[in-house]
A and B are shown apart, each in its own frame.
Chain A
Amino acid sequence: MSIHIEPDASAGTLPAVPSVDVAPEAQAAAWRHRHLLDVDGLSGAEIDLVMRTTDAMREVLARPIAKVPALRGRQVTILFYEASTRTRVSFEVAAKNLSADVVNIAAASSSVAKGESLIDTVRTVEALGAHMLVMRHSVSGAPYLAAEVFGGSVLNGGDGWHAHPTQALLDLYTMREHLPGGSLEGRKVVILGDLLHSRVARSNIWTLTAAGADLWRCGPATLVRGFEAWAARGAAGRRFHVTTSVGAALRDADVVMALRIQRERMAAGLLPSLREYAARYGLTRERLALAKPDALVMHPGPMNEGVEIAPDVAAGAQSVITDQVTNGVAVRMALLYLLAGTHRGDAT
């Protein structure tokens, strides 16, 4: 959908008719999910619905008052067991822009520190009136357990190494926004870095290959473990490669996404040193020159500048890293909106 806001009408000539999408009703896809735990269960039509709803949310964000009453009276509880700035704040801003009531729980300063179990915490949050639960946990699968006991909708804000669905959807949205033609079909997308510990990389496999991208994974052998088997097995119609050669990966790439070296999850012996990693796999200006001249540079944040990405690349003309953050708010608004419809239903 394309929406053009016309220039100020009061200045001289009156503007032309804004171009607004009035496409046939037939394309309207239904949203059937109560929870958003990962992107692997989303159909292509549902991903398109998220993208189109995100377009509408971007328009809301551009308004003089960037707030609509769509989620008035809904309580969104944000329960994070792991440190986060952008994802937590992004969800909070998104929920507030939709007029929801937002409750923030940081596990470190809650009863979790006294030994309360996840299930008890989720039951307590529900008893306190939560309709939607946004959750981050260091254990893969934790949101699935929460979804079994919670009566409303659970949104996964990242679980262990497993999944980060809102990040994958905002990455997809950002690529569609910036790639010519708005399509990933046949585009070479490279994800470079610590794939082993990356929930962002795992969720992105589903959305990017479903969108038709030629997906390349690149990193040192110790950090791409497990992905080779996935690539070798192959899935019908999906293009997915794994390599340790940074040159092969970056050559003629349309998009390069660097991933953070996750020191907090790093077992000893996976990397000789951060310096050696930066020297061999860091995204520098010289390496980026292997990609297409207008290739997009992305990073899910937070960045270790000088390790996986050079500061001049992160802040360079090809970088869309701050757009990822802005789009993150719009994508999360879209998902909160879509999930709010079925919170009392029994759909999954």
Chain B
Amino acid sequence: MSGRQIMTADEIRRATIRLSHEIVEKQAGTTGLLLIGIQRRGVPLARRIATSIAENEGVEVPVGALDITFYRDDLSMVAQQPVVKGTALPSGIDGRTVVLVDDVLYTGRTIRAAMDALVDFGRPQAIRLAVLVDRGHRELPIRADHVGKNVPTSREELVRVHVVEIDGEDGVEIERMVLEPAAEPVA
């Protein structure tokens, strides 16, 4: 990691356990609960929350993975199409409480896309949102129900979540974006 660390592996572990308790408490149990991770780092986080719920409640909550690429609002603006990671939802989201899980909540555009994608699969009773890090700067009227850590940031900063399953280590770091050097003034 190259930036300043704002969450250690232990802090991620504790935050994940707290999120799992909050989710179960809000639902008053596990009935009808469904965890859906947003590709890519939301997927391992959703699995960890499910594991934690299983340890505490003795119930296996179904976990799915959602790829929001086809629903992005900037697809007509990108020069190169993003690589699709794949979607695998447990069948039958009708009437269930779907908890979307993602690593970082920023503009809210990913969550907007995820909700559009979800309603194409059915009609959940409720959609909730759990994130490991909320860094602010929303551009849409969206907020998270469950937050691992609130981190004040500036738009010039990057927040990177690393998870063992993908990156080989756990941790959250923050770093200043390297801006392009200013162009030479035109004579």
Q: Which of A20-28, A115-123, A251-259 contacts B (4 or more CB under 8 A)?
A: A20-28
Q: Which of B6-14, B87-95, B134-142 contacts A (4 or more CB under 8 A)?
A: B87-95
A296 CB–B CB distance under 8 Å: no
Q: In the complex, what's the smallest C-beta–C-beta distance from A142 to chain B, in angstroms?
A: 27
Chain A's interface size range is: 35 or more
Q: Is the pair B81, A341 in contact by a Cβ cutoff of 8 Å? A: yes
Q: Which of B15-23, B55-63, B150-158 contacts A (4 or more CB under 8 A)?
A: B55-63
Q: Is the pair A22, B43 in contact by a Cβ cutoff of 8 Å? A: yes
Q: In the complex, what's the smallest C-beta–C-beta distance from B59 to chain A, in angstroms?
A: 7
A22 touching B120 in the complex, CB below 8 Å, given contacts A8-B92, A17-B47: no
Task: Find A9's partner among B34, B50, B75, B78 (CB 8 Å cutoff).
Answer: B34
Q: Is the pair A341, B79 in contact by a Cβ cutoff of 8 Å? A: yes
Q: How far is A31 from B81 in the complex, measured between Cα atoms in Å?
A: 8
Q: How far is A3 from B70 in the complex, measured between Cα atoms in Å?
A: 17
Q: How far is A341 from B76 in the complex, measured between Cα atoms in Å?
A: 7
Q: In the complex, what's the smallest C-beta–C-beta distance from B163 to chain A, in angstroms?
A: 9
Q: Is the pair A63, B121 in contact by a Cβ cutoff of 8 Å? A: yes
**Interface of chain A: mostly helix, strand, loop or mixed:** loop
Q: Which of A16-54 contact B (CB under 8 A)?
A: 16-22, 24-25, 28-31, 49, 52-53
Most chain B CB within 10 A, of A10, A20, A24, is at A20
Task: Find A338's partner among B76, B81, B90, B166 (CB 8 Å cutoff).
Answer: B81
Task: Find A56's partner among B62, B84, B165 (CB 8 Å cutoff).
Answer: B84
Task: List B contacts of A340 (CB < 8 A).
Answer: 75, 81
Q: How far is A21 from B67 in the complex, measured between Cα atoms in Å?
A: 11
Chain B's interface size range is: 35 or more
B165-185 vs A, CB cutoff 8 Å, 1 = contact: the mask equals: 110000000000000000000
Q: Is the pair B84, A342 in contact by a Cβ cutoff of 8 Å? A: no
Task: Find A64's partner among B63, B90, B121 (CB 8 Å cutoff).
Answer: B121
Task: List B contacts of A6 (CB < 8 A).
Answer: 62, 88, 90-91
Closest to B60 in A: A14
Q: How many A-B residue pairs have CB under 8 A?
A: 115
Task: List B contacts of A55 (CB < 8 A).
Answer: 86
Q: Which of A67-83 contact B (CB under 8 A)?
A: 67-70, 72-74
A337 CB–B CB distance under 8 Å: yes
Task: List A contacts of B112 (CB < 8 A).
Answer: none
Q: In the complex, what's the smallest C-beta–C-beta distance from A270 to chain B, in angstroms?
A: 44
A20 touching B80 in the complex, CB below 8 Å, given contacts A9-B90, A9-B92, A59-B87: no
A12 CB–B CB distance under 8 Å: no
Task: List B contacts of A21 (CB < 8 A).
Answer: 85-86
Given contacts A9-B91, A21-B86, A52-B83, 10 further A-B pairs with CB under 8 A are: A6-B91, A14-B62, A18-B63, A18-B64, A64-B122, A65-B120, A68-B120, A73-B76, A341-B78, A342-B80
On A, residues with C-beta under 8 Å from B are 1, 3-10, 14-22, 24-25, 28-31, 49, 52-53, 55-56, 59-60, 63-65, 67-70, 72-74, 98, 337-338, 340-342, 344-345
Q: 17 interchain pairs (CB within 8 A)? A: A3-B88, A6-B62, A9-B62, A9-B90, A14-B61, A21-B85, A21-B86, A31-B80, A53-B83, A53-B84, A55-B86, A68-B120, A70-B69, A72-B76, A74-B76, A342-B79, A344-B79
Q: Which 8 A-B pairs have the closest CB atoms?
A: A341-B81, A68-B70, A56-B84, A70-B70, A20-B65, A18-B88, A9-B90, A17-B63
